[in-house]
Amino acid sequence: MPKSEFYGKSVLITGGMGFIGSNLAIRLTELGANVTILDAMIADYGGNEFNIMPVNDQVRVNFCDIRDESAVTYLVRGKDYVFHLAGQVCHLMSMTNPFPDIDMNITATAILMEACRKYNPDAVVVYTGTRGQYGPSVSLPVNEEAPTNPKGIYEISNLTAEKIIKVYNDVHGIRSVLLRLSNIYGPRSQMRHSRFGVCNWFVRLAMDNQPIQVFGDGSILRDFCYVDDTVEAILRVAITPAAYGEIFNVGSDIPVTFLELVKVIIKQAGRGQWNFAEFSPERKAQEPGDFYSDVNKILRFTGWVPETSLEDGLTKTIDYYTKYGAHYWDTQFGRELINVQTAPLSTHK
C-alpha cells in the first residue's frame, strides 16, 4: 500500500493497547501517522502496556473507558481516522452477564458515532466486528450476504454496533467501513486465559508443554488470519473510498481443522501435546460449527489478500512470545501453571 496515505494524519485507535489495536498503532506510527490510543485497561481484557513498547514515545496514550462520553467526544475531534476496536470480546461472559456487551459494544459505539456526527463528521471510521455475527454457516465459504443469526450476546452486540455505524454512514454521512474478523492470531494477544483468542491460547499451552484439548473429533473447520495481514486489511479499507459503507470479511479462505491447527502449532513450537476431549452439552449448544470466510469482496475492493501462511504466522508468534512471554504470562515455559486447569475453557473462538 502507498505508505504516504497516513503520513501526518491524526488517528484514534479505541482499544489501542489490545491485541489488534497495538499492532495497528505500531504500523500506523511506522507510516508516519499521529496516533492516539484510547484504552480502559480493563482487567483480563487485552490491554497491555508492553504491547506498544516499540512506539511508546511516539504515540499518545489516553486511559479512559469508551463509555466515557465526555472524553470520547473530546478525543474524536480533529482525527482523520477512527479505528474502533475497543469492546467486550468474551462470548462466555456475555452468556452469564449481557450488560457489559450492551454497554461497551453497543452504547459506546453510539457514543462514538454521535461524537463523530456532532464534532467530526469528516472522520473515517473503521469498525472491527466478528465472524460470530453470522452464527452457524448456511454454506461455505461464508460471504457478506450470508444470514446473520449470532449465537451469543457478544456476537449480537457486535452486529448491532455494525448496524448502528452503517446507519450513521448512510443517514448522517459518517464514512465508515465494517469488518467482520475471523480468528486472528499473532504477537500481542493476551495469553493469560483461554476466554478469547483460541489460537494464541493453544500456542501458550504448546510452549508450556501442557496438553491441548481438541474437542469432538477435531474436525471443525476455521480460518485463521495473522495479525499483520489483519492490520493491512484495516488500513486498506480506511483509504478506499469505494469501501465506505461496505461490510467486508477479513480472514482466510484456506480452512484448517482444529486438529490440523494443533499439530502445526506443536510442530512449529517444537514441543507440546494434545488429546481429544468431549464437548460438554453447553459447549456443544454454543459451537457454531464449521466456518471459513469468503474474502473475495475485500480483494475486489482493495486488492487485499492474506499473505502469511499458517506456518509462518505461527513461527513469528512463537518467536515473539519466546522473547517476550514474561510480559504476557507469569508461569511459562514448563514452569508450574497455576490457572490453566481452572480457567474457563476456550469455546474455539
Q: How far is the CB of 94 from its own copies (least distance, A)?
A: 9
With binding defined as CB under 8 A, does residue 71 bind its own copies? no
Q: Kindly tell me which residue out of 86, 156, 214, 262 binds its own copies, with binding defined by CB under 8 A.
A: 156
- Tally of CB atoms within 10 A around 343: 14
Q: For residues 49 and 63, is the Cβ–Cβ distance under 8 A? A: no
Local structure of 249: helix, strand or coil: strand
Q: Are strands 221-222 and 256-257 parallel, antiparallel or unpaired?
A: antiparallel
Task: List binders of its own copies among 160-189 (CB under 8 A).
Answer: 160, 163-164, 166-167, 170-171
145 interacts with its own copies by CB under 8 A: yes
User: Residue 137 interacts with its own copies (CB under 8 A)?
Assistant: no
Task: Tell me the angle at which helices 69-76 and 108-119 cross, rounded to the nearest 10 degrees.
Answer: 40
Nearer to its own copies, 70 or 309 (CB): 70
Q: What is the DSSP string of 77-137?
A: TT-SEEEE--S---HHHHHH--HHHIIIIIIHHHHHHHHHHHH-TT-EEEEEEEGGGT-S-
How far apart, in Å, are the Cα atoms of 119 and each of 33, 59, 78, 97, 110?
Answer: 21, 23, 8, 33, 14
Q: Is 210 in the site for its own copies (CB under 8 A)?
A: no
Q: Which of 12, 29, 114, 175 binds its own copies (CB under 8 A)?
A: 114
- Distance (Å, whole) CA 81 – CA 235: 10
Q: Does 102 bind its own copies (CB under 8 A)?
A: yes
Number of residues interacting with its own copies: please give it, by CB under 8 A: 29
Nearer to its own copies, 84 or 151 (CB): 151
* Interaction between residue 93 and its own copies (CB under 8 A): no
| Phi, psi angles (nearest 5°) of residue 78 | 80, 0
By CB under 8 A, is residue 344 in contact with its own copies?
Answer: no
Minimum gap (Å) between residue 326 Cβ and its own copies: 38
Q: Which stretch binds its own copies (CB under 8 A): 16-24, 54-62, 95-103, 300-308?
A: 95-103
The pattern of x and - marking residues 247 through 286 that bind its own copies according to CB under 8 A reads --------------------------------------xx
| DSSP at 55 | G
Nearer to its own copies, 163 or 192 (CB): 163
By CB under 8 A, tell whether 147 contacts its own copies. yes
Site for its own copies in 20-39 (CB under 8 A): none
Residue 277 C-beta: closest distance to its own copies, Å: 21
Cell of 218: 477435531
Contact between residue 218 and residue 259 where contact means Cβ atoms under 8 Å apart? yes
| Residue 190 φ then ψ, to 5° | -60, 150
What DSSP element (H or E) covers 203?
helix 198-207
Residues that bind its own copies (CB under 8 A): 95, 98-99, 102, 106-107, 110, 113-114, 145, 147-153, 156-157, 159-160, 163-164, 166-167, 170-171, 285-286
